[in-house]
Structure 1
Amino acid sequence: MRPTNLLNLTLKEFASLWRDPAAIVLILFAFTFAVYTVSKDIKTEVNNAPIGVVDNDNSPLSRRLTDALRPPLFRAPIPLTAQTADTVLERGQVIFVLEIPPSFEADLLRGRKPGLMLLIDATAMTQAGLGASHVGRIVAAEVADALGSPSIEASLPVRVVPRTAFNPNHQAIWFVSVMQITLDLTILSILLVGAAFMRERERGTIERLLVMPVTPMEVALGKIIANGVVVAAAAFLSLQFVVQAGLGVPIHGSVALFMACVAPYLFATAAIGILLATSAGSMPQFALMSIPVFVILNLLSGAVTPMESMPAPMRMVMEASPTTQFVALSSAILFRGAGLAEIWEHLAAIMVVGSMALALALLRFRAQMQKAG
């Protein structure tokens, strides 16, 4: 490769991107408004879950249980009857319905073991699972306190003392904000580089470039470098001003090391974008092919669900994904303060996959040019 050719092609791509206001608006939107709103609005913990109570006992203890279900975990309980409980649950107006049977307090005082029924709308999976455990814990604590008996935990011979590392308040916003930046890096690098390649093909300028003393590698790297620099700069500013300043997410690791890892990751995903562009016949085809690619890369990367919950064959396949490796090293660097010694294997895997994707894309590109010639 000739450095002068690569520099000129990179500058040409910068100019092309600057003349594309839609792409600039998309980058600004993705790394500002999208990061902030998604991080604020997507919550994996229970928060203001709607709950109703069917109080058939109307005793001091049943009212105490109702009062204990309060914000921020639950909204103020809605008084219900046995006839209306199923209706509001089916309409999605509440996620939980706690039904307290008649003579509940009296049976407890007589030494009996009455049961409480908790109806759950499990279509809201995260709220349902976590909320049910919160309801059970609240009920057990209030009943034990009302009867003057020790709690279940206090009666056990072993005491568990949890110590939460890296996210002591269990705030989903810490994780979601960084993972949203990862998602934006993936989508924009694939779309911008692939779309730039497709525009060259559709306008016929790619053939003009190749009759000049430039190589396909120089053409591809010019697009990767120009778009990668812009996307990486936007990610850095988003991390500084949106994630840390706007959302108040503390970063414990080295931002410089994280940004150094962003470069090979953008190289890998941009190479995938070029590979998709060489496989598509038009811009709409490229867009349709790109959507399932970055959706799968994101959903099965460990950013949404843990890798350990996947079937073993799928987990082995996704280990080869650069997004999976980048999600792992991002969490390690930004949250756990890991250094290069801890993340070099992830970095090497990203470089290998990116080099293979670019090599395959260039092979397809050369074959298409030879066929066209």
Structure 2
Amino acid sequence: MRSGTETETAKDQTMTRRSTHLRNTWHLGIKEFHSLARDMALLFLIVFMFSVSIYADARAKPESLNRASIAVVDEDRSQLSTRIVAALQPPQFITPEHVGLADMDRGMDAGRHTFVLDIPPGFQRDVLAGRSPAVQLNVDATRQSQAQTGAGYIQNIIGDEISAFVQRVRAPAPQPVELVPRAMFNPNLNASWFAAINALINNVTMLGILLTGAALIREREHGTIEHLLVMPVTPLEIMLSKIWSMGVVVLVASSFSLQVVIKGFLGISVAGSAALFALGTLLYLFAAASIGIFMGTVARNMPQFGLMSILVLLPLQILSGGVTPRESMPETIQYLMSLAPTTHYVSLAQAILFRGAGLNVVWPSFIMVAAIGAVFLTLAHHRLRHAIGTMQN
């Protein structure tokens, strides 16, 4: 049996080893900050991705039709047709241009009009008589985004104006069922809200993987990995130093982007707790950085790492549920993507930021992110030990 002195000595040695590991991890992480500070390209990428990129992505996807060009061929010249034309006004449309029937095709061929509405003669008379007349809408489908949204807008405008006009003449027929929609969490159906938040999530994924993987590749290309091998540091300390340092960089940048760019410049309302989102982001960065370290041990140089990143990042961003709901994907894809931490991070981020969910709702996603991150950390540690052992031999 061990004496009390031997036990205390063993505890002291264990505490000393732990203190040494933490100190090595801390100083190696500080070294990563210095290396990043000298890499102007990566610094520019970080600033750009969490400021200009998010702002542009939100503004490039307007929530509604904006200043679409439209012409009207009014062959009826009635009170109803005048009401319809008057309703096609800014900001959705440029003030409608009245053209003749012969000029309709020339305007679209020249690209001056995205929409041309042809109201036939006798339109008001036929509406009041209940004959359901047809109105022709020509759409320039080469302007795809405006064509898809604008056709629905024009149809709704015409329907509303006809209903309002007919109700003044005769009582509307009672409807057996009335549908009353209520939009939750985004009452105005503002698409820029989702575009900005989704861009933030994608950029966290991208930089969380790229920065840690690039840091490891940079050590190998600059020859500093050999210096680390002769130092009393372990592969786990090298990994953890890169994970915590690059994780702090992305966490600070994403928090700044959420508060200043998304809430400030874009004026987007975030329902949930920013602190809880930051905690989920920190946990996810642990998993993403572990993936980056694993990829850095597989790739031999930066070009290979860049090509590999394309194959990894695209499925993570497109199939994780941020772009399209996972329920609409094939079941095989749903199962495979459930093994990726990005899927669970998107779920918890949307629940917190969009719906104001608390920890009692998103804790399963937290656990899944941590578990998957631990698996990738183990794989990355094994690969890094193997790679360092190969270099030493």
Which is further off, 119-128 or 53-62? 119-128
**Quick check: 1:322 aligned with 2:332?**
no
Structure 1 position 11, deviation (Å): 1.2
CA contact (8 A) 2:63 2:189 kept: no
Look up the SS of the partner of 1:12 in the other structure: helix
Q: Decide which moves more: 55-64 or 211-220.
A: 55-64
Measured in 2, the distance between the counterparts of 1:151 and 1:163 equals: 27
Q: CA deviation at 1:307?
A: 2.2
Give the equivalent residue in structure 1 for 2:51: 32
Residue identity matched to 1:3: L
Q: Percent identity?
A: 44
Q: Which residue of 1 is the match for residue 218 of structure 2?
A: 199
Q: Distance in 1 between the 2:324 and 2:108 partners?
A: 28
Within 1, Cα distance between the matches of 2:389 and 2:121? Answer: 84
> Which residue is equivalent to 1:244?
263
Indicate conservation of the 8 Å contact 1:252/1:337, yes or no.
yes
Deviations 1:164-211 (CA, angstroms, capped at 9, x unpaired):
221122222222222221122111111111111111111222132123
Computing the radius of gyration from Cα coordinates, the structure with the larger value is: 2
RMSD, aligned CA: 2.5
2:280 aligned residue: 261
Q: Does structure 2 retain, via aligned residues, the 8 Å contact 1:329–1:346?
A: yes
Residue 187 of structure 2 is aligned with which of 155, 164, 168? 168
Matched, 1:182 2:201: yes
The one-letter amino acid of 1:159's match is E
Q: Are the counterparts in 2 of residues 144 and 151 from structure 1 also a CA contact under 8 Å? A: no
**Where do 5+ consecutive residues of structure 2 fail to align?**
1-17
Q: CA deviation at 1:271?
A: 1.5
TM-score w.r.t. structure 2 length?
0.86
Residue in structure 2 matched with residue 141 of structure 1 by the alignment: 160
Counterparts of 1:9-88 in structure 2 under 5 Å?
Answer: 9-82=28-101, 84-86=103-105
> How far did residue 317 of structure 1 move?
2.3
1:305 aligns with: 324
Question: Is this contact kept in 1: 2:348–2:362, CA < 8 A?
Answer: yes
The structure-2 alpha-carbon separation of the partners of 1:83 and 1:269, relative to structure 1 and needing over 3 Å to count, comes to farther
SS in 2 for 1:267: helix
CA distance in 1, matches of 2:183, 2:129: 40
Structure-1 residue corresponding to 2:14: none
Distance, in Å, in 1 between the alignment partners of 2:64 and 2:336 is 30
* Paired positions, count: 372
Which stretch of the first structure deviates more once superposed, 241-250 or 309-318?
309-318
2:6 is aligned to none
Say if 1:140 and 1:151, in contact at 8 Å, map to a contact too: no
Task: Structure 1: give runs of 5+ residues left out of the alignment.
Answer: none
Cα distance in 2, alignment partners of residues 124 and 318 from structure 1 = 34
Measured in 2, the distance between the counterparts of 1:357 and 1:322 equals 10
Shift of 1:110: 4.0
Residue 98 of structure 1, CA deviation: 2.4
Contact 1:318 1:324 in 2 (8 A): yes
- SS for the counterpart of 1:119 is strand
Partner of 1:215: 234
Contact 2:80 2:165 in 1 (8 A): yes
Deviates more, 1:92-101 or 1:280-289: 92-101
Q: Distance in 1 between matches of 2:294 and 2:196?
A: 29
Letter in 1 for 2:202: L
